[in-house]
Amino acid sequence: MRDVTSILPLHVDGVCFAAAGRNLVDAASFSVPPGGLTVLLGPNGAGKSLMLRLCHGLLRPSAGAVRWASGAGGRAKRHAMVFQKPIMLRRSVEANIAHALAAAGHSGPERRSRGREALARFGLSDRATQAARLLSGGEQQRLAIARAWALRPELLFLDEPTSQLDPAATRQIEELLAGLVAEGITVMMSTHDLGQARRLADRVLFLHRGRLIEDAPAESFFAGPRAAEARAFLAGELIW
């Protein structure tokens, strides 16, 4: 998917985010190169969701900077985000996708073409005219990902995408995410599911108390993390 307008790598340089006098993200620095799936791990309150929102531009850092390659992120927003609880508009499944494409400036014929393609790609063609809010939880999450995919993102952010789903729906979403990575889409997601992280991650960013304390290939992280907090987390111990 990379071309001359590529927005990657993404660089996070000393990013902090403060609220109510507390630093919730503290001097985080890392880069996201093209390709693969990066998982954000850490206990509740570690700052995983905040980090995704800061990278996507929904929040502005209190200090530090989020930079895209050659400033491309400012010219063409080729990144999208899917939330833990999918946001469904009060309209049909196909109209949810069309609305996102219209907001991104795509023409009517292109909206229809991309919409049909997204519905087919994510197994939702037979639900096209159904009210999106009447879909099952797993179908709503598939629609949220399909809607993001239709925008042709180079980088896709996902916040706990399967936390509210049953095992069958979770397996479907994991298969879809693996397919997106195989297509060349870079994925960055948070999860509390260690099994899921082991199955999907190419790289792990481990956060604790708003600090990035480990950045490692998934294989070496799960074989033996360097940080004591990460070792305790993998062992199922409570860390504060």
Question: 10 CB contacts (<8 Å, ≥6 apart)?
Answer: 31, 32, 55, 66, 67, 68, 69, 73, 155
What pLDDT is recorded for position 123?
96
For 166-201, letters b (16+ CB in 10 Å) and e give eeebbebbbebbeebbeeebbbbbbbebeebbeebb
Percent of the chain with pLDDT over 90: 90
Domain positions in the chain: 10-87+152-234
Interatomic CA distance for residues 5 and 141, integer angstroms: 29
Per residue in 148-158, pLDDT (tens digit) is 999 999 999 99
The amino acid that residue 48 corresponds to is: K
Interatomic CA distance for residues 132 and 90, integer angstroms: 7
Q: Which residues pair with 138 in a beta bridge?
A: none
Q: Are 142 and 173 in contact (CB under 8 A)?
A: yes
- pTM equals 0.94
What is 10-87+152-234's CATH superfamily?
P-loop containing nucleotide triphosphate hydrolases (3.40.50.300)
pLDDT band at 4 (very low <50, low <70, confident <90, very high): low
Three-class SS state of 114: helix
Per residue in 100-118, pLDDT (tens digit) is 999 999 999 999 999 999 9
